[in-house]
Structure 1
Amino acid sequence: MNPAAPPGDEDTTRLSLDAWATLAPEALPQATEAQTTRPATQGRVGDALSSPPPSPEIGDVLGAWRLVGQLGRGGMGQVFLAERNDGHYQQRAAIKLLLGLSGNPASLDQLARERQILASLNHPHIARLLDGGSTPAGQPYLVMEYVEGEAIDRYVARQKLSLPAILALFSMVCEALAYAHGQLVLHCDVKPGNVLVGADGRAMLLDFGVAQLQGRSAAGERQLGATDGPRSLGATPRFASPELLAWQPVSAASDVYSLGRLLQELLQLHQPQGPGPSPLRRAELAAIIAKATQQRPEQRYRSVPELQADLRRFQRQLPIEALPRRGPYVLRKLLRRRWLALSVSAGVLLLGLGFSWSLMHQRDLAEAARQQAQQEAENAKRVRQVVIAIFEDFDPFLIGRQPKSFAEFIDDAAARVDADLKQQPAVQAEMKHVLGLVYQRSGRSLRAIELLEQDLALQRSLPQRDLNKEALALHELTVALVNAGLAPRALPLAREALGLREAAYQARPGQATGSLLGDSLAALGLVLTRLSAFEEAGRHYQRALEIRRQHDGAESAKVASSLHSLGALAEREERYAQAQAWFEQSLALKAQRLPPDHPYTLNSRHGLAQALLGQQRLDEALPLLRELLAQRRRIHGERSVFALETQSLLARALLRAGQGREALALHAQGLSELQALLGASAMPVAQELLWLAEAQVAQGEARAALRSRREALAIQLAQAPSDPVQQAWARLQLGRALLRAGEAQEARPLIVAAAAELQKRRWRAGHSLETQVSAALAELGR
């Protein structure tokens, strides 16, 4: 749907419902013909429009944007659908061409200053202003976030929304306007066509690009919207305040007026199921609309929050501010709210016999609370003793103690938690969770898995299970298993965690539950990516991105993480140019939120290097990898798995650049370090053995390469269950090497098994694995 409906769109036929006749629209303030007439002193815009500049056409390029379709056209201007054309990343936008401003440098300078402020608006219910400029003919344009949805009035009519649902939707618009007013920005054109409702039921307020700032005097510095500004593009009279139509100074009360008209419009579309609201409820809504749409701004609600507060009072059956608080009205509201309590008040005397029992019950509750508090105090004391003992063991100044490494310190801490907190399972579970994360972030995935599995088992054994903590344990265990190369084991855990968090979000939607839901969607996407289930992974990643933008903010670190995940998915699918675009978008957001050497930033730089290497852009990938390796060694340590991961990628890039000797040395050193750090049977060791084999072949060491591939496959087969795609790749590499060594009998079952597994997957045309399978089968046939 177009983000800004063509002018006149609101004049389509509306539903007329007798149920809302008592709203008495004729009693509400109406704009007169005189109010819609512009003063003669402000009539120079028509002259400026007498020779309109040539309009851009579909296919033209405006700045970084190419016009690909027309969304709307009318007296206010034209709206085009555009796509980003600078190659940095893919994005769609709506471009609105503004009429009546070309050829006026002062107006354009003022518009540019206003536009900069408007672009800073960042709210989940506001379509953002992204960019702007002027066409070659001097015609200004605004680039806005493209929102797919349906005009709010059409949505209400088509969905046949209930009254509470209409008010909830209207509240989203109010929240957006209240936020904008807090930034001193007015909208000045609130109407149904400027509010779109997406498929998720979220309302988005559009066209802040023609807004103006509060606090400008009409006689002083020119307002955006006066004389030749955006207001000359035409506010919709039916929704515009009297002062706006009369070209008088405007304020937040002007937007309150438009909100009142919008609410009136939506309520006229309401189709009650059954008898509908009572006469009193209808009168209250009529009073709220009447107060919001008073002729004089000072007689309206002073702000959007005041209007919202009165609507909340209406919903809670409290007396509203829009009606006088006379005795009968307040009494009726009290009876409406408290009817149950008042109707049974006579029965209170009958409860006297139960009073003594109640006192005893309260005494028992107090005693239970005292015992619980005592137990919690004992738990806290025990945890404090354990933590003090852990740090005393690490103190290098204690006489007779050998200095300990960080790894030894964490191992001792885990042992103490095991031994000293057996009687406090809830506390022990939390401590194991924390230590599991420490192991995970220090690269010791197998030890992390062990502690996180214990955490999950303890959480499930507690008399009163905390499903939020259980979901967190499942989530972190999922990530640890994936990082250890054990994605098949992680899959059911990831789905279980997602189920718990989905239920929590449905029960109580909001920022906290939404953010956690986004984390679980991303974790499941990660597992599916490692299992080469790319299509399903992409769906979960996209939903995680949408939820994070809604609940964490469009420029949050969580959104940057989702962009990184999409880049990793594209890289696995060998869509390297798209992967590069996702990683660059992620890095752009991380640059705003994180220091340049933050581990999350370094992760995305590593992904970017992979995407560049996949495109054979070695002149860019090699210096990036050398710099990244130095950063990771400085941040994580020389022997960390993170530094060794980048060292391995650098070795592969060097091999492609013809520097095989250096590549072989780096792979051999990395393999030795990984074996010492993780153990000889860890999955990252198997992966590094396969990369080492490629370097060995390049250096003419075919026999050594064959040994490396045998060892890699043995490690893969020892894991239960291991990643089937990684295992198939190891079989394929060993089978092809055996063919070249003349061992066709041993090679055949390996190649056939690998082909059978890999051909189950849907690969992009030309994917290297598909190509290698075809080549291996052809070699086997010969």
Structure 2
Amino acid sequence: MDSERWSKLKEIFAQAEALEPGEREAFVNEAAEGDAELAAEVKSLLNSRDETANILEANAFDLSKGVFADQTPKAGRTFGSYRIVRELGSGGMGAVFLVERSDGEFKQTAALKLIRNTVADAETERRFRTEREILAGLHHPNIAQLYDGGVSENGEPFFVMEHIDGRPLNEYVRTANSPLNDRLDLFLKICSAVDYAHRNLTVHRDLKPGNILITPEGEPKLLDFGLAKLLDEQGGEKDQTATMFRAFTPAYASPEQILGKRVTIASDIYSLGVIFYELLTDSKPFVFDGMSLEEIVRTITGSDPVRPSSVGRKGSSSAALRPGIASDLDTIAMKCLEKEPERRYSTAAELAADIRRFLDGMPILARPSTFSYRTSKFVRRNWKSVAAGTLAAASLLVGLGVSIWQAEVARAERDRAEQRFQDVRKLSNSLLFEITPKIETLEGSTEAREILVKRALEYLDSLAAEAAGDSELQKELAAAYEKIGELQGHPSKPNLGDLAGALSSYEKANAIRLAQPETPENLRLLAENFRHLSDARYWQGDTLGTLGALERSRQIYEGLVNSQSGDVSLRLAYLRILTELSQYHQANNQYPEAIAFAEKAIAGTQELSADARETREVFFVTHADLGNSLSWNGEQERAEAMMSIAVGGMEKLLSEKPNDARTRHLMWRVYMLASGIFEDIVNERSLEFAEKARATAQKGVEIDPADIQFRHNLARTNYRVAVAAANLKQSREALDALKVAETQFLALIEREPRNRFYRTDLGRIYTRAGLARRLTNDLAGSNSDLIRSLDLWRQVAEADPGNKNARRDIALSHRYLAENLTKLGEKQQAREHYRLAVDILNGLKSENSLPEVDLKLITELESVMAKL
């Protein structure tokens, strides 16, 4: 078979494989264009594929079984930190395995998706890598989560993702005989996942029930982003191709997909509409059994489906859905299934909002196609007949006068509604942008800010419901939601500690900004929004999502700076992003990367005016970050020099504005980093800076006891004081400070249970308490504290597998337990804890995520373990 014929065979096979079994034969005969031999070869391959169908099809992994059975990795083989348990399914492209963590950090099963580099063509490998890259940036409870990825020692690309033990959506609802409201609740969660993907510039392109699994707990999980495309900022796909033979499932594909046109968010909305229709009726809008390719295209692009209320549910004697309200569901479904993309819901969030209105008994916003619209469609299809009847219609104009009076009444009502709307708009802007800036840096203003946030959110949500089509109002809404997010939980400003609320507000703003035209002004606002979104994600424990948002912000800012190099404020905003990227890599033990970003930021500030307070602030804070990273990287002398610049500079800034809450917070942070770099080196200086940090935080709490930021700062500072005291053998002082810190963190956790940083810091407190008790020879008490810390670290690591610091802390807890057990004569248990510590540290080393100062620790622990 020549290469051209082989290529055509593969192309037809790939498209036919995506069809329902009953639709394949007609499609193949049509696509083969009379070549009976080619058609027979494709059908033979399809029959072989069907004979080996397995669990992968149900889980939406597009693989076929058996081609590389002799090369299948065996149980026990490791990929990164994961060990194969058993195969879930395999095929010509690769395989999927059930795996478990092999490093002992915590128990976790997952699904490992592996591609064979021996058989993968460029397109297959591109899809695989695209799926991995897309999943890395998507972190949503209803999207299967990516845990890890890389290339095996044999050159096989792989990634590890959440293992979903569930059933496809349509099978689940039919088997459970789910009532309508339960189906709608499931669909709302699916819309949330799709909307999240869209807001992260990803269109799925193959939404269907088989790609949505329902867990035993009843939670939907969206899978299989292998066909997904990244979107440009205006919602269209990047590197798009226009071809009839695109990979999708025709029963769920939009008219534009079928025709090979531009794929956008609207294409996914159409697919959601098909899924919604199927949930309502247990049947699809169109059935293609026995249809040719031409007939399928003509049906999808030219025929309207039967309204859901006219379709009898399987197993139901009723020919309609719930009487009296089914028309709203009809309207929602038919709006999704409009032929023209612009007539569908503009976002999955809008679709979900209308379903919620239906569930709440409120009027929906969607409206059925108007008579004039249906007439215009009829005219386009039958223009000759319509032209002949136009004269006869002229007599109908006499009825026009009747409607004039009605139009005048409606206009007056609109005017009154518009005035109320503008009043609310003005009030919300006044609350956020006139009153709030006057009080946000005033100490003791937390309670007032809480009231402002509550009232402003009420106004904003009412405005958002009316904002469609008003671009200026949408800009105002985005800015207002960002201001709300800042007040709720911005980590470096006085805030209310509502981290979940902050994330929600920033995401609302992000959705609006992504839909705005791509002007320099809008791009700048979008870049800043991604910066805020990264903070909110970080404090919610979403490590990979944090990096994704920071990188998006950096990329946008770099493009703007390159085109507007004279804009000082723009360059300063870009430098802040570099500083935050440095801080991100610090937090993940990636110190060379942290140093590089900090040095780049400092170099950039030196090109700006040294008199501007904002420039000085970035300059000094970044020096502190650089000093911290240098210390961890083993460059202590240079670290101390950088920290000296940071401390002196920030103390001067605080003296200029002693009542500024933001400056006080930054001063506290610099003192904390300064204390850290002298730990175990000059412990007296470490304690000195820790005490300064505590005094700074205590001052903030005294002035404004309700400010969560300073309460958190104070709790962390008590921990830092305890560390420095313990290093000076002041065990009683250390234990006292730790007890105070524990009480403070438990109160914070009670208020904000989802805040992973509170648990992280509490874990550190128990670790230090264990070490302090060891100094008093209380080994039993020490072990108790260390086990509590280990449990907390495992909780953090399980919730956020990308958190490198949590894994390092797990290793250190194992080390300290091993040392205690050795003293107690429990050598076998000690050896096991040493082994776990070494395995985890080696895993971090292989990922280039182990600090330079820890590299020698592996050798030390291996040496101690060998002597036991």
Smaller-chain TM-score bracket: 0.3 to 0.5
TM-score, length-scaled by structure 2: 0.43
Structure whose alpha-carbon radius of gyration is higher: 1
TM-score, length-scaled by structure 1: 0.47
